[in-house]
Structure 1
Amino acid sequence: MTTAFLVDSHCHLDFPDFEGEQADLIARAAEAGVTRMVTICTRLRLEPQVRAMAEAHAPVFYAAGTHPMSAAEEPLATVDELVALAEHPKFVGIGETGLDYHYTAKSKDIQQQSLRIHIEAARRTGLPLIIHARAADEDMARILAEEHAAGAYSCVMHCFSSGRALAEAALDLGFYLSMSGIAAFPKSGELREIFAMAPRDRILVETDSPYLAPPPHRGKRNEPAYVAHTARVGAEAMGMEFEEFARQTTANFDRLFTRAATPGAAQDAPATASGRG
């Protein structure tokens, strides 16, 4: 029997929902075939405790940035600050950053300023940018394209649930789309169609736990082990066998998140290559 190994490319193991349970969460993930995970620090002042979590657990890597919904209440990050954090060997990405006009449209100017700072840090470090985008598709597509024209960088559109136009804009820049539990919801057919039209080598899978648990756990606390449920739905949407989807998304992760790649993982396709096909 083939064993399918998966990666949870985006979770939040430091959130209070998981307090004191990290070792058990990681063990349950391993039982489900999830061998690695990236935990995301959303406020830079909390980076030390997220770093410590990655240092304590071999399967855990981490990234850090200022979440757009917190951009107005947290100190503005500097490029130098982010570049310094990136010196840690288990620090694998810049963010999450981005734009969120759904709840925090009033802070859109500072969000955009913060986003551009994070992009420059991604450019300087060579680490992938991790983007949160909600209700800001036009500004997001414009800024990503402007910045990419000024100097290439790699990027993943985390928990992608925006429209087709932003998906195509991101893919045309060589970026990746990450599938969360939202894509597994019964009414997310249009979103599944967007993933199905994307190149197979540009798709990741994630939980965004403790949020957005896929069926059959919808409405409950999410955790890294549940990425397997989303992966099964993703495989069906893309017309792939589950094991093939797992291998493909893991290879994609290794190509983008090079610091977290398994030894010997192929790095043959640059994340900044343009085009969707």
Structure 2
Amino acid sequence: MLIDSHCHLNMKDLANDLDIIINKAYNNNIKGMLTISTKIDEADDLKKISSKYNNIWYSLGVHPSNVDDKYKDLGHLIQDNIKNKKFIGIGETGLDFFYENSKKNLQKKSFKYHIKLARDYDIPIIVHTRNADADTIKILKEEYYKGKFRGLIHCFTASKELADVALEIGFYISISGIITFKNAENIRKTVSNIPVNRLLVETDAPYLAPMPMRGKINQPSYVSYTADYLAKLLNINSFELYEKTTRNFFNLFNRAEFN
């Protein structure tokens, strides 16, 4: 059994055929999915999706590329959803400095606010980081010093230094289809030294389909390609990788109930 720890089931490339896509995942031994928020106004759609299907959970958060001065509305939204057992994570949040016009200061404030909420509610945080390793490390260290919080680095493409800091503060690291790409040798080198009991797997669907599906619209059933590749990289069998990453998911997202 596998869990897709990060996908976007509300996005139009998936939403139009969601029954087919989810049943395909179930039939391919992907028995649970965490559908991730990138905007405040996605909350209702994510809640509806999670309520319709077994073992689909949702997060609440604002992607760094979508941050505006209303990011603190997230606090009220979480309070409204806290009793919903399908709500299990905060994010995705973090820093994305890929574009020159990135709102760096606003992103940092939003990231820190997400961390505060994760700490206050003891709900894990889902961290996105792109072209921002140094600032991500700085914020994680500073905020952890203020008080512990739990979480993961999603779609890991960062440096060994960031991986080391994440592991030091008890974070998990989630591996996407990027690990299968030809030009991902540096990522593979770092990931090969991460203990399997700290790893999760994800699709980030509809983005980043793994080999041999690269170029297609990604979907949760493809997470097995990433998991099988990761098992070979770590020199363990796929069954062990499936079992351990699934256990890791439920250890981290301890609000999730499996039916």
Partner of 1:143: 139
Deviation at 1:196, TM superposition (A): 1.4
Please list, as runs of the form range in 1=range in 2, the aligned pairs for 1:1-277 lying within 5 A after superposition. Answer: 5-72=1-68, 75-78=70-73, 80-84=75-79, 85-103=81-99, 106-262=102-258
**Contact 1:98 1:115 survives alignment (8 Å):** yes
User: Aligned partners of 2:112 and 2:15: how far apart in 1?
Assistant: 33
Deviation at 1:148, TM superposition (A): 0.7
1:68-111 deviations in whole A, cap 9, x for unaligned? 00113x62224632531333210010000000001265300000
Partner of 1:269: none
User: Aligned partners of 1:64 and 1:87: how far apart in 2?
Assistant: 13
**Contact 2:60 2:74 survives alignment (8 Å):** no
Unaligned residue ranges in structure 2 (runs of 5+):
none
Quote the RMSD (CA, aligned, Å): 1.4
Give SS of 2:108's match.
Answer: helix
User: Aligned partners of 1:176 and 1:50: how far apart in 2?
Assistant: 23
Q: 1:192 to 1:33 in 2, by over 3 A?
A: same
Give SS of 1:152's match.
Answer: coil
**Contact 1:254 1:262 survives alignment (8 Å):** no
User: Aligned partners of 1:10 and 1:203: how far apart in 2?
Assistant: 13
**Contact 2:55 2:257 survives alignment (8 Å):** no
Q: Report how many residues are paired.
A: 258
Q: Which amino acid aligns with 1:75?
A: K
User: Aligned partners of 1:104 and 1:40: how far apart in 2?
Assistant: 25
Deviation at 1:255, TM superposition (A): 0.2
1:22-46 deviations in whole A, cap 9, x for unaligned? 1111111012110000001111112
**Contact 1:66 1:77 survives alignment (8 Å):** no
Unaligned residue ranges in structure 1 (runs of 5+):
264-277
Give SS of 1:190's match.
Answer: helix
User: Aligned partners of 1:111 and 1:246: how far apart in 2?
Assistant: 34
Q: Share of identical aligned residues, percent? A: 38
TM-score (norm 1): 0.90
Give SS of 2:173's match.
Answer: strand
User: Aligned partners of 2:48 and 2:74: how far apart in 1?
Assistant: 22
User: Aligned partners of 2:90 and 2:32: how far apart in 1?
Assistant: 18
Give SS of 2:6's match.
Answer: strand
Deviation at 1:195, TM superposition (A): 1.3
User: Aligned partners of 1:50 and 1:133: how far apart in 2?
Assistant: 23
Give SS of 1:197's match.
Answer: coil
User: Aligned partners of 2:160 and 2:82: how far apart in 1?
Assistant: 32
**Contact 2:85 2:256 survives alignment (8 Å):** no
User: Aligned partners of 1:86 and 1:147: how far apart in 2?
Assistant: 23
